[in-house]
Chain A
């Protein structure tokens, strides 16, 4: 227990942890602030103003239409060819209709908590996962590269307990940060929705869905931190984890896309990591094979492939388990020189 508490203290004292936490909070605050400023509550006066604008646009369009017909008629009277410029019948068939000018288009953006917050949970998860990845990699990577790990092993020669305590400290910190900032994130957007947007139709079911999204976000953040920790421990340097992350991103998001595109692989995105990340947050992610349709032969429903959050969970869980097992296995056997 003392080792775990010490590692938690060490992690909290680290400059990178503090700097990254400040950057994370600033980033999340920035997103919330920007959204708050861009959102405007749709009061009756705002709706009425939008209706006035829509009516004005309709009147202006009608006026332009009438002017166009008059010009067309005048051109025909001069014996000019008008169909290319004004269309058949001088465009009389295209008379503007009031329903074509929806007041909704003139309304300012209004944040809708029910419809938009689940996506904001994904944004939050992405930011905290990045924080967890960098802090997790550095926590053990810097310890190895500066000799701190060797010092610690001179005090506590049980290697697996040392690595396990460090990992437990990291995951505890990440869980704490996620829960705390997640609560603030939710409260901030509830406040934005209440004051500058809408929180209508937020039922118990919606809250349950938000809660489940939050749990999936927490799992993703913990996996990101644990994988970075394990990679940095394997390579005994922070850059090992960051290098693998960049490598996987380049290979997965660019290399595989180019390769499968050249090879004409169907549903190529099922081999891309971000597909599984999206499926994890959205519960499922639909891949569509537009090449399966011959549209010249009429209407066609293109083939679909559904990637589920369970498949994503299995993939990320297995990857994390594999890397962590390797890290602990190597830790037990390696010479610390």
Chain B
């Protein structure tokens, strides 16, 4: 597969005499291959929107390299703009225009056939409300309009920043289906969202950014596998045997956490070996379940943004990846 989007060592620093320098992007890397739905995740203030704005020519980078559809940007941006549809941050439209006017004007500016306007309005479910002013729209309807504007060009690369924001559950499901359909039609989709369950369902691969640096990337299942830590839940026939089982496992170097009705093991590469070991000591397993992690827990772990009781985390308090190890790659076979 060819790379549709490449970012290497991207840097952007905001200088302020009062507050000092803030590195919004600190050597960020990203790679998205053709035909994928790629999740772009990060806590608030981590640099997601700055990355997208920089990629789309709205912000000047201080260093690094970017390429979209094989063209170096920002130099070659005007060559590929017609093939890139994007919404960045919340949908913003002139409130007194109707949805149809809004799209019609964008189509005019982008030299897109006017017939495409009705096609995308139909696609996002705004056909019957297209004649109403945008200011009367709900957030979810504005979001649909934003997606429509991004689809207007029938792009090869679609970049959507929080497209599900404000959508009702039905709308979220429709958006998910739309993303998948678009990817199946050959469109590459980059999706930034905080709804991690959606990302896990929709995306083929993800990039996680924290404090302007990539902290994880790769296919979703590999990222999850890399952070599952071999956790296994064990239940025995009788709860009275849990203490003996914990002792056996502990003696054999398996980290164990005791719970009233089960044991939690970690670092277990082969769960079957646990069953075998306990059986040798006449302790019989009734449940042996590898505990899968979800994207949310991986995200919280990687970005160090899990809530702590009694503490109020500030926006920029995320994980700092130090030294030479700039980014953690989850699993092999996915080149940078």
Contact = CB atoms under 8 A, between A and B. Distances in A.
Contacts of A9: 105, 108
Contacts of A336: 53, 58-59
Interface in A1-54: 2-3, 5-7, 9-10, 13-15
Contacts of A14: 94, 96
Contacts of A148: 92-94
Place the interface of chain B in its size category. 20 to 34
B108 A2 contact: yes
Contacts of A6: 105, 108-109
Interface stretch (B74-82, B203-211, B264-272, B278-286): B74-82
Nearest to A5: B108
Interface in A95-151: 142-143, 146-148, 150-151
Contact of B93 (A146, A153, A335): A146
Contacts, number: 74
The SS class assigned to the A binding surface is helix
Given A13-B101, A335-B58, A337-B53, A151 B106 contact: yes
A2 B111 contact: yes
A219 B60 CA distance: 37
A10 B105 contact: yes
A2 B109 CA distance: 6
Residue of A3, A158, A336 with most chain B CB atoms under a 10 A cut-off: A336
A63 to B, nearest CB: 70
Contact of B81 (A3, A10, A155): A155
Nearest to B80: A157
A150 B108 contact: no
A151 B149 contact: yes
Contacts of B137: none
Contact of A146 (B50, B77, B94, B149): B94
Nearest to B24: A337
A155 B109 contact: yes
Interface size class for chain A?
A: 20 to 34
B330 interface: no
B197 interface: no
A252 to B, nearest CB: 33
A147 B92 contact: yes
Nearest to B112: A155
Interface in B89-116: 92-97, 101, 105-106, 108-111
A151 B81 CA distance: 12
Contact of A153 (B50, B57, B60, B95): B57
B60 A335 contact: yes
A152 interface: yes
A146 B108 contact: no
Contacts of B60: 333, 335
A151 B92 contact: yes
Given A146-B93, A152-B109, 20 more contacts: A3-B109, A6-B108, A6-B109, A13-B101, A13-B105, A143-B94, A146-B92, A146-B95, A150-B58, A150-B88, A151-B92, A151-B93, A152-B106, A153-B58, A155-B81, A155-B153, A156-B110, A157-B78, A336-B53, A337-B53
| Closest A-B pairs by Cβ, 8 of them | A147-B92, A6-B108, A336-B58, A157-B57, A335-B59, A155-B110, A6-B109, A157-B77
10 contacts: A9-B108, A13-B101, A150-B58, A151-B93, A154-B56, A154-B81, A157-B77, A157-B78, A158-B78, A337-B58
